Structure 1
Amino acid sequence: MKFLFTFCFSIIFSQVVVAQQKPYQDEFAHTFSILARDAETGEMAVGVQSHWFSVGTAVPWAKSGVGVVATQSFVSKRYGYEGIELLEKGYTPEKALNHLLKQDQNKAYRQVAMLNNDGKIAVHTGEKCVESAGHKIGDNFVVQANMMLNDEVIERMYDAYKMNLHLPLAERVMSAMHAAQGTGGDIRGKQSAALVVVSSEKPKNPWDDRIIDLRVDDHQNPIKELDRLLNVHRAYEFMNKGDVAMENQNTEAALDAYGKAEKLLPNNTEMKFWKAVALVNSGDVKKAVPLFERIFSIDKNWQKLLERLPKADLLNIQPQALNYLLEL
């Protein structure tokens, strides 16, 4: 009898242990996210926000010419890392996701979406994801969320993305994230956000893989801050275009690009400084003078920097003209 009791207790206990195997050691990134592909450019993006620290280090995964993945709820980074690997090997998102789900005893707690370079999509919302949880697939995009305040979050994300197809992909994704937060978002609040955009083609250099890679790790209003960073990113894109135009001796195109950058960041002193430097290098010191005057009135350290540029071959100017600028 004692043997039988011990045997039965062992069986019951082992079943309880198995039942208690839950993914509590995994990152607790309950959240909303969107994966999207631009049908014209082929660019792919992941946007995510969560009431969890540094969500951008766990949820979004992306690779140019391959695809994008968002793994959330109780996060298993394996879905991101191996998911991208499988997509690169030619697996469809559905086949890749099913392959990983079969190996995961905690799949009931997972929420994962995958989108490949062809716009094919696969998504899984486990039955143990905290409500409100779900997903919705559109044409070249998918939205997913768990632990939301209400059931409207997913619908509003979906609708907002479709209503803003005229915007660049990154801004389109941001519109969906704003809609999600505006409808209630994460029931716990907000803390971090991330935005990643990759190309439809593999880059020549692997370190140039990401077109946009922005993160807000800890902020009272992470989506608003992510918006600000995206605006800064766009401004520096124009600055880079201006620099290239100057290298090609196209001053008109350069000034146009610099002007667009300044409209996006009117209070950015550094942009004004390098625009003035570019004018000097193009031989137009006269146009650069009023710019330098305003810059130096803000901070004399810019004047010290200007003095150091000729030695680094970043400023092409006669000594007399340089001395004039240094005395402004």
Structure 2
Amino acid sequence: MKTILLSAMAILLCLPVFSQNPGVEKEAFAHTYSIVARDTATGEMAVGVQSHWFSVGPLVAWGKSGVGVVATQSFVNPEYGPRGLKLMEEGKTAVEALEEIANSDSGREYRQVAFLDSHGNTAAFTGQNCVEAASHITDENFSVQANMMLNEETVPAMAESFSRNSHLPLAERVLEALKAAQETGGDIRGKQSAALIVVGANRVEESWKDKKIDLRVDDHAEPIKELGRLLRTARAYEYMNRGDLAMEDGDVDKALEEYGAAEKMFPDNLEMQFWKAVALANAGEIKEAKPVFDKIFKKDKNWREMLKRLPKAGLLDVSDEELKQLTD
């Protein structure tokens, strides 16, 4: 009952805003801190965001490979995302694209938005009616912005962190900036959701290749910590994917290398152990593969049945006798 009353009060408090400005929708809250950034070495671009609001990612973070990225927050106008990307794809700079959309937005003073294009140009806007503490810092190849923060330290801390961690891959660098924001106090309301997307330097035809990283934590007591766990898991599975590709190409040594790297990151993950053992078996190392399979089967017998199915699928090249030896 208390939660219902608080939600009702929040809506009532915002009614004057909605009645005075029809451009502001009551559904589109995303008071938050975020970063848009580009890696000068790879050309990859990213958006990282955290908010005390459910599922902040789909509303705030937008990106397209070879084009740019957008973070749109505060009282969100989602149009800034797809329209901003379209304008940048057509050749407008981040500054030109943001100005064109903001100038036609009757609710612009309630918005906070950041654009970054594929050349590293950045543009940001913090409306006068964004809830304090609200500000942004733009620089070449990154912009950090926040509203409804506990204090004024959040945005400078993000900028300092991003600049200081230039040795890290872009996704990890963005994550460190989010951590820095939270360490200053972050969102005055607390924590709930976070998201991280990374797009490539070059345009792609296939939409499923557009986002290199697309991670969301929709509802969690420690969203940034959970986002970090997911990013580490994603990195491990990048090794797994490369191992799979090596297996398809018949490069068992490469597959062993990739699967082994993944297993080092998550030594208790049965699937990672399994595919490394499969690579060993395909390399003719039956004696080495056998104890690994036995350990896996002891923990979950379904993997034994899985192994029996692989020869037919062309993923395990062993004799019937060797397969029996591995599964007994």
Is 1:42 aligned to residue 43 of structure 2? yes
* Aligned residue type for 1:260: A
Q: CA deviation at 1:205?
A: 2.3
Distance 1:246 1:26 in 2: 48
Query: Does the C-alpha gap of structure 1 residues 183 and 18 become closer, same or farther in structure 2, counting only changes over 3 Å?
Result: closer
Q: CA deviation at 1:207?
A: 1.7
Counterpart for residue 320 of structure 2: 319
Counterpart for residue 59 of structure 2: 58
* Aligned residue type for 1:313: G
Distance 1:83 1:132 in 2: 26
Distance 1:275 1:42 in 2: 32
Specify the SS of the correspondent of 1:242: helix
Counterpart for residue 189 of structure 2: 188
Specify the SS of the correspondent of 1:149: coil
Counterpart for residue 245 of structure 2: 244
* 8 Å Cα contact 1:249-1:282 kept in structure 2: no
TM-score (norm: length of structure 1): 0.91
Distance 1:74 1:286 in 2: 62
Is 1:83 aligned to residue 84 of structure 2? yes
Q: CA deviation at 1:245?
A: 3.3
Specify the SS of the correspondent of 2:303: helix
Counterpart for residue 75 of structure 2: 74
Distance 1:17 1:306 in 2: 60
Counterpart for residue 222 of structure 1: 223
Q: CA deviation at 1:26?
A: 3.8
Counterpart for residue 175 of structure 1: 176
* 8 Å Cα contact 1:246-1:282 kept in structure 2: no
Query: Does the C-alpha gap of structure 1 residues 294 and 109 become closer, same or farther in structure 2, counting only changes over 3 Å?
Result: same
Distance 1:326 1:130 in 2: 63
Counterpart for residue 111 of structure 1: 112
Partner deviation per Cα, 1:247-305 (whole Å, 9 max, x = no partner): 44444433222222112111111011111112222332222112101111111111111
Distance 1:100 1:167 in 2: 33
Partner deviation per Cα, 1:52-93 (whole Å, 9 max, x = no partner): 110111000000000000000011110001000111011111
Specify the SS of the correspondent of 1:150: coil
Is 1:289 aligned to residue 290 of structure 2? yes
Distance 1:266 1:20 in 2: 55
* Aligned residue type for 2:24: P
Distance 1:20 1:248 in 2: 59
Q: CA deviation at 1:32?
A: 0.3
- Give the unaligned 5+ runs of structure 2: 1-16
Specify the SS of the correspondent of 1:72: strand
Distance 1:297 1:221 in 2: 34
Specify the SS of the correspondent of 1:197: strand
Q: CA deviation at 1:27?
A: 1.4
1:259-298 equivalences under 5 Å are 259-298=260-299
* 8 Å Cα contact 2:62-2:71 kept in structure 1: yes
Specify the SS of the correspondent of 2:63: strand
Query: Does the C-alpha gap of structure 1 residues 20 and 116 become closer, same or farther in structure 2, counting only changes over 3 Å?
Result: closer
Counterpart for residue 159 of structure 1: 160
Q: CA deviation at 1:323?
A: 1.3
Distance 2:264 2:134 in 1: 41
Distance 2:204 2:87 in 1: 19
> How many percent identity over aligned positions?
56
* Aligned residue type for 2:237: Y
Distance 1:249 1:314 in 2: 10
Distance 1:165 1:32 in 2: 20
Distance 1:213 1:116 in 2: 19
* Aligned residue type for 1:309: L
Distance 2:78 2:218 in 1: 18
* 8 Å Cα contact 2:122-2:143 kept in structure 1: yes
